[in-house]
Chain A
Amino acid sequence: MNKKLNFLESSFCKVLRPPQLNLRIIKPSSMAVFAFVLFALFIVFAGVIYDLIVEPPSIGVEYGFGNERPVTILKGRLNSQYIFEGIDGALFYLLGSLGLILIDQALTKERREKYGKIMFYTGVGLFACSFVIIIFFIKLKVPGYLKR
């Protein structure tokens, strides 16, 4: 049995020589993968695919009193955006989520008291402000939001 297997091994290795790849198996930590997923989420929430297909302008223009003023948010229509507007919106979505993640990190891990306090209050502030700002943006886009 051993002789047969040795013969098999030597003949096989003579015919095919796999290259000497010094591969290392990379095992990223779960939080690194989470950061990558968050980045991918940012790109999709920003409507990058919409930008690629519909090719809107990067910012809008408002004419008044003989000059042109830049306008960030496309008013009135729901499923359309300028490029910068998409990135703005996605930024505030993610800041709000990061605020909540900061709250969770502050309250579940042991660290120095100063840092715990900073993380908690920053998290609360980020979440509350992002929520209010997004609602303000949506009121610009959808006329009559939350009105009869």
Chain B
Amino acid sequence: MSWYPLGRVVGGTVFPGIMLTAGTLYFFLKKIVRITVHIKHVCVFMGPFFASNASLITYLFTKEVSKDYGAGLISAVMIAIVPGYISRSVAGSFDNECIAIFALILTYYLWLKAVNTGSMFYAASCALAYLYMVSSWGGYVFIMNLIPLHAFVLIIVGRYSKRLYVAYTTLYILGTLLSMQVPFVGFQAVQSSEHLAGMGIFGLIQLVAAVKYVHSILGEKYFKLFLKILGFIAVSILVLFVVIGFATGYIAPWTGRFLSLLDPTYAKKYIPIIASVSEHQPTAWSSYFFDLQSLVFLYPVGLYYCFKNPSDSKIFLILYAVTSTYFTGVMVRLMLVLAPICVILGSMALSNLFKLFAYKIREFDEENKNKKKSQNKNTKKQNKKKKKTEQNKIFNLGYISATLMIAVLTAMFISYIFHSIWVTSEAYSSPSIVLAAKGYDGNRIIFDDFREAYYWLRQNTAPDAKIMSWWDYGYQITAMANRTVLVDNNTWNNTHIGTVGKAMVKTENISAQVMEQHDVDYVLVLFGGLIGYSSDDINKYLWLVRIGGTVDPSIKEEDYLNSRKEFRVDSQGAPTFLNSMMYKLCFYRFWEVKTEGNKPSGYDRVRNTVMGNQNYELEAVEEAFTSEHWIVRIYKVLKKENRK
């Protein structure tokens, strides 16, 4: 159980898509194909399976947009190994994004097919794909805002047509109705501000179609009058709707998660939980190259080709590219949404560039053939032609230059492959629960402390024991140690997390009171000072202070920094910090340990200083378990005596 004592309504707070897909695949394999596989193997390999499906659908998408099957093939190869997507679809990563990106590209492909052909069949299939996307990932809001934006831009630019009307109307009605079937979304599809754009553009497109129809019936003079009256009525209805909707509170304003995308500084000021997740940090320039390598260069070239010969689908690509680049700039984890469009535009650019040089080589070969046939006849005519067109002609690239350029582009493509393989093997392939490091003589040391601690919990504590730890480890404790936790990774209740934060950063007495109120039996902390593991709880300490400060106003960040505004662990650290519960839990008995040969005992290898507050006693808790490399430390909460 998790979120003790509140509990959690799993049905209404979870996207069921990935579980349903895994279950369907398992059922299909077991009953229809009659191959017995364990459900665990189905779950582990869902990521790669859907990544290969995404590769297939990207081929179809690029072929649809560019009418060039060469670009489609290149895009299928590139999206198979682009590091930005691989990071979330390795084998063993059973997260929403595995199937979400496949559903995203499928929805966009069917939308572009619907707009290009104007058929209701494709629009209805797009609505079904949209339902799959809504059931998979919270990022479906991106689809529900990008498709209306595309329709709006097409109307503005003057590309309104019957096909667009049929496609958008069918998709909006069916899509909204279907998305309301998912319990997590429910009536949010018509109530929340994130979905308003779709509704607004739906109204607008009906209006545009009606106006065009009336225009074809009325003459010019009365059409102008009609426009004036209609414009007035439409604007007044819209204003009335918006004002009443927001004033009565029926339309909910933008929620924190999505508001922090529009205003990046919002989360930093008001919602520290969103700001503290390392995936939600904004992107620095090097992450773009690391996750996309050659595509970073080819992506603007693809945009250039879209602007050169615009069409309905290419305008969609431009909008998708611009919006997803901005959102990726705000949050690193959204690089996943940028990767497909980079691949599509980059492959279009690469294919066009290859074609430029390949045609030169083909022309050269054909010229050679023609020269052999008629050498003497055309020399005089050619001389005359040369003089006439000396001023303006297309730069005639030589045979060798064209071959060299093809070799250069191929070399870039090959470097992309090597880069992707290296990045995947170094950065995105290690399990996060077993750590590995290189020893002094080059052999690998394995730190299996997490599993050791969770199995200790599983085997040595009462089955109804409640564990208090920071929310990062909630899912792991619930799954591997099989015990109740107070807060976990779902982070749906900020007040509860703030209370846990308060219990960690206050002194031992106050912390004991909070723990007694919540029936806590064990406390679990992470400490990396012995081996130099830098993602431990002391490095997250200031986030605990900030989040605890949202619940208890007496917790202020300045109290935990010393007079020079530094966060220090040694004797120059702030006294409030050195007497807090988490410091005492992490560093208990660490003064007895010698970590490096030439340093005194109690030397913290992460912060590179000696610990400050030494030789203290714990009154409210007693040490229950410390893992082999001191990474996970578990303390048992002592019950108060019956009589004083």
Which A residues are closer than 8 A to B by beta carbons? Answer: 5, 8-9, 12, 16, 18, 30-31, 33-34, 37-38, 40-41, 44-50, 52-54, 78-81, 85-86, 88-90, 93-94, 96-98, 100-101, 103-104, 106-113, 116-117, 119-120, 124, 127-128, 130-131, 134, 137-138, 141-142, 144-146
State the CA gap A53–B393 with chains docked (Å): 51
* Pairs A–B under 8 Å by Cβ, sample size 8: A5-B225, A45-B285, A52-B265, A79-B332, A100-B349, A112-B392, A120-B395, A127-B297
Task: Tell me whether A93 and B286 are in contact in the complex, defined as CB-CB below 8 angstroms, given that A40-B322, A44-B329 are known contacts.
Answer: no
State the CA gap A48–B330 with chains docked (Å): 9
**B352 touches A (CB below 8 Å):** yes
Q: Interface centre among A44, A78, A85, A134, by most B CB within 10 Å? A: A44
Whether A107 contacts B288 by the Cβ 8 Å rule is no
State the CA gap A98–B303 with chains docked (Å): 12
**Which residue of B has the minimal Cβ distance to A13?**
B228
For window 355-411 of B, CB contacts with A under 8 Å fall at: 356, 360, 390-397, 405, 408
In addition to A37-B318, A124-B408, 14 A-B residue pairs with Cβ atoms within 8 Å of each other are A8-B225, A40-B322, A44-B325, A49-B264, A52-B264, A53-B268, A53-B281, A54-B282, A78-B287, A79-B284, A79-B286, A98-B300, A100-B349, A104-B352
Contacts of B246 in A (CB 8 A): none
Q: Which of A5, A47, A106 contacts B283 (CB 8 A)?
A: A47
State the CA gap A34–B222 with chains docked (Å): 39
In the assembled complex, the CB of B479 is this many whole angstroms from the nearest CB of chain A, namely 28
In the assembled complex, the CB of A1 is this many whole angstroms from the nearest CB of chain B, namely 10
Chain B 293-306: CB-based contact to A (< 8 A → 1; otherwise 0): 00011111101110
State the CA gap A86–B419 with chains docked (Å): 21
**B28 touches A (CB below 8 Å):** no
**B229 touches A (CB below 8 Å):** yes
In the assembled complex, the CB of A120 is this many whole angstroms from the nearest CB of chain B, namely 6
Whether B392 contacts A110 by the Cβ 8 Å rule is yes
**B203 touches A (CB below 8 Å):** no
Whether B289 contacts A97 by the Cβ 8 Å rule is no
Whether A120 contacts B397 by the Cβ 8 Å rule is yes
**Which residue of B has the minimal Cβ distance to A90?**
B285
Task: Tell me whether A146 and B418 are in contact in the complex, defined as CB-CB below 8 angstroms, given that A54-B282, A109-B394 are known contacts.
Answer: yes
Q: Which of A5, A50, A130 contacts B282 (CB 8 A)?
A: A50
State the CA gap A17–B167 with chains docked (Å): 38
Contacts of A86 in B (CB 8 A): 284-285
Contacts of B264 in A (CB 8 A): 49, 52-53
Whether A107 contacts B356 by the Cβ 8 Å rule is yes
**B326 touches A (CB below 8 Å):** yes
Interface residues of B, dominant DSSP:
helix
Whether B225 contacts A12 by the Cβ 8 Å rule is yes
Q: Which of A16, A40, A131 contacts B232 (CB 8 A)?
A: A16
State the CA gap A142–B427 with chains docked (Å): 11
State the CA gap A9–B224 with chains docked (Å): 10
Task: Tell me whether A101 and B352 are in contact in the complex, defined as CB-CB below 8 angstroms, given that A37-B322, A108-B394 are known contacts.
Answer: no
Contacts of B308 in A (CB 8 A): 30
Whether A137 contacts B391 by the Cβ 8 Å rule is no
Which B residues are closer than 8 A to A by beta carbons? Answer: 222, 225, 228-229, 232, 264-265, 268, 281-290, 296-301, 303-305, 307-308, 310, 318, 322, 325-326, 328-330, 332, 349, 352-353, 356, 360, 390-397, 405, 408, 412, 418-419, 422, 426
Whether B395 contacts A117 by the Cβ 8 Å rule is yes
State the CA gap A30–B311 with chains docked (Å): 12
In the assembled complex, the CB of B619 is this many whole angstroms from the nearest CB of chain A, namely 40
Whether A33 contacts B286 by the Cβ 8 Å rule is no
Whether A113 contacts B325 by the Cβ 8 Å rule is no
**Which residue of B has the minimal Cβ distance to A35?**
B307
Task: Tell me whether A44 and B326 are in contact in the complex, defined as CB-CB below 8 angstroms, given that A50-B283, A94-B300, A104-B356 are known contacts.
Answer: yes
**Which residue of A has the minimal Cβ distance to B287?**
A79
State the CA gap A79–B408 with chains docked (Å): 30
Whether A104 contacts B304 by the Cβ 8 Å rule is yes
In the assembled complex, the CB of B422 is this many whole angstroms from the nearest CB of chain A, namely 5
Whether A100 contacts B297 by the Cβ 8 Å rule is yes
Whether B329 contacts A49 by the Cβ 8 Å rule is yes
Contacts of A85 in B (CB 8 A): 285
In the assembled complex, the CB of A15 is this many whole angstroms from the nearest CB of chain B, namely 10
Contacts of A33 in B (CB 8 A): 307
**Which residue of A has the minimal Cβ distance to B308?**
A30
Whether B419 contacts A137 by the Cβ 8 Å rule is no
Q: Which of B286, B332, B391, B397 contacts A138 (CB 8 A)?
A: B286
Contacts of B353 in A (CB 8 A): 100, 103-104
Contacts of B310 in A (CB 8 A): 30
Contacts of A16 in B (CB 8 A): 232
Task: Tell me whether A9 and B225 are in contact in the complex, defined as CB-CB below 8 angstroms, given that A53-B264, A81-B286 are known contacts.
Answer: yes
Whether A107 contacts B394 by the Cβ 8 Å rule is yes
State the CA gap A130–B318 with chains docked (Å): 24
Whether B297 contacts A131 by the Cβ 8 Å rule is yes
Contacts of B268 in A (CB 8 A): 53
Whether B287 contacts A128 by the Cβ 8 Å rule is no
Contacts of A112 in B (CB 8 A): 391-392
Q: Which of A9, A88, A89, A119 contacts B289 (CB 8 A)?
A: A89
In the assembled complex, the CB of B596 is this many whole angstroms from the nearest CB of chain A, namely 21
Whether A93 contacts B288 by the Cβ 8 Å rule is yes
Whether A137 contacts B228 by the Cβ 8 Å rule is no
Whether B283 contacts A49 by the Cβ 8 Å rule is yes
State the CA gap A80–B304 with chains docked (Å): 30
State the CA gap A9–B221 with chains docked (Å): 11
Contacts of A104 in B (CB 8 A): 301, 304-305, 352-353, 356
Whether A110 contacts B393 by the Cβ 8 Å rule is yes
**Which residue of A has the minimal Cβ distance to B229?**
A12
Whether A97 contacts B284 by the Cβ 8 Å rule is no
Contacts of B397 in A (CB 8 A): 107, 120
**Which residue of A has the minimal Cβ distance to B302?**
A97
State the CA gap A107–B310 with chains docked (Å): 20
Whether A49 contacts B282 by the Cβ 8 Å rule is yes
State the CA gap A90–B300 with chains docked (Å): 12
